[in-house]
Amino acid sequence: MADNEKSGWTGSWTTTASVMDGIVLDGQTIRMIAHTSIGGRKLRVRLSNAYG
């Protein structure tokens, strides 16, 4: 049984639309609105800084 089936979670994903080529953001904060592809009563978020 998949992990989401055991826990009752439904998978969804989103990305923010941005092009940040060559921009240095050391010591900066970025706030972006991200809309998910499905709704629900609870939210579990995993953030990644894979490119930074």
**In b/e form, how buried is each residue of 4-43, taking b as 16+ CB within 10 angstroms?**
eeeeeeeeeeeeeeeeeeeeeeeeeeeeeeeeeeeeeeee
What does pLDDT average to in each consecutive run of 10 residues of the chain (52 residues)? 62 68 77 76 78 60
pLDDT the model gives residue 17: 62
In a domain, 29, yes or no: yes
In a domain, 9, yes or no: no
In a domain, 37, yes or no: yes
In a domain, 33, yes or no: yes
In a domain, 4, yes or no: no
pLDDT the model gives residue 51: 63
pLDDT the model gives residue 45: 80
Q: How many domains does the chain have?
A: 1
**What's the length of the chain?**
52
pLDDT the model gives residue 52: 58
Q: Which domain holds residue 37?
A: 22-47
Assessment of whether the complete model's pTM goes beyond 0.75: no
pLDDT the model gives residue 1: 47
In a domain, 52, yes or no: no
In a domain, 35, yes or no: yes
